[in-house]
Amino acid sequence: MNRRTLLGGLLAAGSVTTLSACSSGITSLNESSGSTAGGGSSKGGITIGTANFTENQVLGYLYAAALRKAGVQVKVRPNLGTREIVIPALKAGDIDLLPEYQGALLNYLAPKDDSSEPGTMQNALTLALPAGLQVLPYGQAADSDCFVVTRATARKYGLTSLADLAKQNGRLVIGAAPEVKKRRVGAVGLQEVYGVEFKEFKSLDSDGPLVKGALKKGDVDVANLFTTDTDIAANGWVVLADPKNLIPSQHIVPLIADRKADDTVRKALARLGNILTTEQLTQLNSQVDNDKKDPEDVADAYAKQHGLA
Amino acid sequence: MTVDWSWIGDHTDDLTSLTLSHLQAAMTAVFLGLVISLPLAVLAHRVRPLRGFLLGLSNVLFTIPSIAIFVLLLPVSGLTRTTTVIGLTVYTLVVLLRNTVEGLDSVPAKTKEAAKAMGTRPLRTLLTVEFPLALPVIFAGVRIATVMSISLVSVATYIGDGGLGQLFTDGFQRDFPTPVIVGVVLTILLAVVADALLVALQYVLTPWRRRRA
Amino acid sequence: MFELIKNLGTWLTSASQWAGQDGIAHRLTEHLQYSLLATLIAAAIGLPVGLLIGHTGKGAFLAINLASFGRALPTVGLVVLVFLAGGLSMLPVYVALVALAVPAIVTNTYAGMTAVDPDVRDAARGQGMRGHQVLLQVELPLALPLIMTGLRLALIQVVATATIAAYVSFGGLGRYVFDGLAQRDLVQVLGGAVLVALVAVVLDLLLSTLQRFLFLPHSRLRSSGGTPTRTA
């Protein structure tokens, strides 16, 4: 931490121009990440980071709209990368707030924890989080990882659940984001819980054009997508059932640095969490992916419509 | 593939700030590259054994994929502009070091001897004779480093920065070509304008060369 | 830091890391295949163009400024653009790599041609040689050292940039860099980076040895051959 600040300072001093906080996605070197004692304060403004997939951008901009309405200064840094990248950045103070998912976050922090009910998960998260970070109350909207196959593949191999995949060991190719190869809700858990061995793991993207394109083209047999993607129904893809509950419940939950978590922030995000439903979130995602609207515009329009902005 | 012109109209503010942020990253890197490479180049020019080592090292650094450099810097400087700037500076160093050494080499030995004979001290010779004469070659390096950095900034989009490069990942994720086209065009424009400005600056800085042209 | 380098050693030397679909041997082969094919295509385009410009003297402005344009092209944007236009295939990767390599080849070929002594050219004409004979029997051999330098430069740039193939789901050594980024596995990223650098250095060494072996008599025409560039 000390080394980082020193380095940043040296560079800032050496650069011709001082970096000003511009709009979305632009890093400011001037922002110090010193922690305040006690409950934390959002006075200095909050930087919201988002992971590299559509829904997380939408959620980030929804958080931004709700916080702005509450009078908090916000900046959104979209598309920062995977959980493996953004959580260390949150710890380091590069960002202050992240839209997260209960189960996936718990899996990342404590892979052995098998809590499955949202309430217990919330407690488990609180225990598992490193000092300086906390989760705020989870919202009603949820989005889980899921594994889907095309109808033709389902018929060909007789696939209805994840357990069926093991009968085709060594025959099927799975497509998912690269990080899923090492995640429990991914290649690791499928092997441990269901005994599935794939012929190949293809590194693609998080519910993006690569993985969906590969599934359509037949380059992969099984694809890791999110349940809030309208393309699953639109293409008639089959979501494989999870009888052994490998995939945990995934309510959306704000993950925030203690130093920024004050009552204003808590209230604003709790209000959003109570209003936003899974169906609405699914629709918002589709507006971005299919209607090519900007995540920011989609989020702002929703916030306005629901009295959040 | 069609361009959605209304998208461009609706995003002029975003595009402006991304362009500025893009330019800022590139310019900072070239500036830092110059600050570091000028003394190193003098060293490499004067001390023969160091020359091979420094040029060789910078050539090897050049073969490392830029994405890897950005990622490997994450434990040091995190998801910040600092990471972007350090990564870019590494690449400008290669170009600037090589050109500055070549520029200093190109100064005729007789000129240096004349300066010495007139009793000019070494540091003064360096600043008032060697550097000015090496300036055209150094400037060629600055131009290359600038254009290269402007192109290279966009790679930092993989670590959440990258100026106009953010338009590439955005367009990619939602299968929407307009931001990508705009990003490519603006990047090239930025490079062309910056290059032209540097040519103009060089014209101003080296008046003695004009007569020959 | 020490830990990272120690782990890199383990990563590079473990047998399991070398085997299989995601093994180093396979990724290395893919990387070489992308790089060499892209450079070959670029040479097929860039060499005739550079020779023609040098021979006729027409289009010199293009030859000189193409290098600058090539440096300005953002590779990531180009890859995404071709992907969005044409769908998922290796085409976006090859387009971007070829676009990166052609300028270096054209510019150096042209430079090699202009370095040919005009007297030599005139003498060849005076002996009754035709245009294409002058080009192929006199100018080309004399320009070869610089042409080779251009090819070397192009290949080095392409090797480092071929990493981008992994961004659009393909293989090569970039797989380790992009997967390592997604998994925050720095050892894997470093491993990929070191291997790419190694490939570039070894190929450069091979080509420069070949160059020295071939052109010893004309060694005075050898030059440092322009500045390399990077766009990804």
CA C59, C62, C67, C70 torsion-angle sign: negative
Tell me if A3 is assigned to some domain.
Answer: no
Domain shared by A116 and A152, yes or no? no
What type of residue is B179? P
The CATH number of the domain where C99 resides is what?
A: 1.10.3720.10
Q: What pLDDT score does C217 carry?
A: 54
Asked if the Cβ–Cβ distance from A16 to B28 is below 8 Å, we say: yes
The CATH number of the domain where A212 resides is what?
A: 3.40.190.120
CA dihedral A100, A106, A108, A110 (to 10 degrees): 160
Of the candidates A219, A239, A259, which is a domain's last residue?
A: A239
Residue A76 CA to residue B10 CA, distance in Å, equals 18
Asked if the Cβ–Cβ distance from A81 to C166 is below 8 Å, we say: no
Mean pLDDT of chain A: 89
Asked if the Cβ–Cβ distance from B172 to C84 is below 8 Å, we say: yes
Domain shared by A47 and A133, yes or no? yes
Choose the most confident range, by mean pLDDT, from A104-113, A144-153, C219-228: A144-153
Residue A272: beta bridge partners? Answer: none
The interface residues of chain A toward chain B in range 22-41, judged by CB-CB distance below 8 A, are 22-29
Supply the DSSP string of chain B, one letter for each residue. ----HHHHHHTHHHHHHHHHHHHHHHHHHHHHHHHHHHHHHHHHHH-HHHHHHHHHHHHHHHTS-HHHHHHHTHHHH-SSHHHHHHHHHHHHHHHHHHHHHHHHHTS-HHHHHHHHHTT--HHHHIIIIIHHHHHHHHHHHHHHHHHHHHHHGGGGGGGT--TTHHHHHHHHHTT-HHHHHHHHHHHHHHHHHHHHHHHHHHHHH-GGGTTT-
Domain shared by A76 and A219, yes or no? no
Tell me if B14 is assigned to some domain.
Answer: yes
Is A22's pLDDT higher than 70? Answer: no
C-alpha to C-alpha distances, A91 to A9, A29, B191, C45, nearest whole angstrom: 19, 17, 36, 50
Asked if the Cβ–Cβ distance from A203 to C184 is below 8 Å, we say: no
Work out the angle between the directed axes of helices C140-161 and C186-214 (0-180°, nearest 10): 170
Give residue ranges of A with CB < 8 Å to any C CB. 81-82, 84-85, 88, 177-179, 181-182, 200-204, 210, 213-214, 217, 219
Of the candidates A239, A261, A284, which is a domain's last residue?
A: A239
C-alpha to C-alpha distances, B173 to A24, A25, A84, A113, nearest whole angstrom: 17, 16, 19, 32
Supply the DSSP string of A165-226, one letter for each residue. HGGGTTT-EEEE-GGGGSSIIIIIHHHHHH----SEEEE--SSSHHHHHHHHHTS-SEEEEE
pLDDT digits (tens, 9 = 90+) for A204-213: 999 999 999 9
Q: What is the DSSP letter of A277?
A: -
Residue C139 CA to residue A112 CA, distance in Å, equals 71
Q: What pLDDT score does B150 carry?
A: 97
Q: What pLDDT score does B212 carry?
A: 53
Tell me if B68 is assigned to some domain.
Answer: yes
Q: What pLDDT score does B48 carry?
A: 86
Average pLDDT of span A212-240: 97
Q: What pLDDT score does C226 carry?
A: 64
Residue C163 CA to residue B43 CA, distance in Å, equals 34
B-chain residues near A25 (CB < 8 A): 18, 160-161, 166
Tell me if A290 is assigned to some domain.
Answer: yes
Tell me if C230 is assigned to some domain.
Answer: no
Choose the most confident range, by mean pLDDT, from B171-180, C52-61, C202-211: B171-180
Domain shared by A97 and A212, yes or no? no
Buried b (16+ CB within 10 A) or exposed e, C129-157: beeeebbeebbbebbbbbbbbbbbbbbbb
pLDDT digits (tens, 9 = 90+) for A102-113: 999 999 999 888
Average pLDDT of span B68-77: 96
Considering chain B, what percentage of its residues have pLDDT values greater than 70?
A: 99
A131: number of Cβ within 10 Å: 7
* Residue A103 Cα, gap to closest chain B Cα (Å): 24
- C-beta of residue B183 within 8 angstroms of C-beta of residue B15: no
Is A151's pLDDT higher than 60? Answer: yes
Tell me if B213 is assigned to some domain.
Answer: no
Is B81's pLDDT higher than 90? Answer: yes
Q: What pLDDT score does A309 carry?
A: 79
The CATH number of the domain where B44 resides is what?
A: 1.10.3720.10
Average pLDDT of span A242-248: 94
Q: CA nearest C151: which of C95, C202, C213, C107?
A: C107
Q: What pLDDT score does B213 carry?
A: 45
Supply the DSSP string of C140-164, one letter for each residue. HHHHHHHHHHHHHHHHHHHHHHGGG
Tell me if C229 is assigned to some domain.
Answer: no
* Residue A216 Cα, gap to closest chain C Cα (Å): 11
Determine the structural domain holding residue B125 and report its residue range: 5-207
Is A36's pLDDT higher than 70? Answer: no
Residue C101 CA to residue C154 CA, distance in Å, equals 5
B164 at interface of C, judged by CB pairs closer than 8 A: yes
Tell me if A11 is assigned to some domain.
Answer: no
Domain shared by A150 and A135, yes or no? no
Mean pLDDT of chain C: 90
Considering chain A, what percentage of its residues have pLDDT values greater than 70?
A: 87
Q: Taking CB atoms and an 8 Å cut-off, how many pairs form between chains A and B?
A: 111
B77 at interface of C, judged by CB pairs closer than 8 A: no
**Nearest residue on chain A to B81, judged by CA atoms?**
A27
Domain count, chain B: 1
Tell me if A79 is assigned to some domain.
Answer: yes
Give the pair of three-digit tokens for residue A161.
């659940």
pLDDT digits (tens, 9 = 90+) for C56-103: 988 888 888 888 888 899 999 999 999 999 998 999 999 999 999 999
Residue C27 CA to residue C171 CA, distance in Å, equals 6
Determine the structural domain holding residue A156 and report its residue range: 145-239
Tell me if A188 is assigned to some domain.
Answer: yes
Q: Taking CB atoms and an 8 Å cut-off, how many pairs form between chains B and C?
A: 145
Give the pair of three-digit tokens for residue B137.
């070659």
Domain count, chain C: 1
Is A13's pLDDT higher than 60? Answer: no
Residue A235 CA to residue A286 CA, distance in Å, equals 14
pLDDT digits (tens, 9 = 90+) for B53-64: 998 888 888 899
Q: What pLDDT score does C62 carry?
A: 84
Q: What pLDDT score does A183 carry?
A: 94
C159 at interface of B, judged by CB pairs closer than 8 A: yes
pLDDT band at C218 (very low <50, low <70, confident <90, very high): low
Asked if the Cβ–Cβ distance from A210 to C169 is below 8 Å, we say: yes
Determine the structural domain holding residue C194 and report its residue range: 2-221
Rg (CA), chain B: 20
Name the more confident of C1 and A306.
A306
Name the more confident of C185 and A249.
C185
B94 by Cβ neighbours in 10 Å (0-12 / 13-18 / 19+) ranks as buried
Q: What pLDDT score does A115 carry?
A: 87
Is C216's pLDDT higher than 80? Answer: no
Is A9's pLDDT higher than 80? Answer: no
**What φ, ψ does residue A148 adopt, rounded to 5°?**
-120, 155
- ipTM of the complex in this document: 0.91
Is A14's pLDDT higher than 70? Answer: no
* Residue B132 Cα, gap to closest chain A Cα (Å): 23
Average pLDDT of span B17-33: 97
B113 by Cβ neighbours in 10 Å (0-12 / 13-18 / 19+) ranks as exposed
Domain count, chain A: 2
Tell me if A93 is assigned to some domain.
Answer: yes
The residue count of chain B comes to 213
- C-beta of residue A272 within 8 angstroms of C-beta of residue A139: yes
Asked if the Cβ–Cβ distance from C179 to A178 is below 8 Å, we say: yes
Residue partners of B140: CB distance under 8 A and separation at least 6: B99, C227
Residue A108 CA to residue A231 CA, distance in Å, equals 27
Tell me if B88 is assigned to some domain.
Answer: yes
Strand order of the β-sheet with A145-149 is A200-203, A173-176, A222-226, A145-149, A238-239
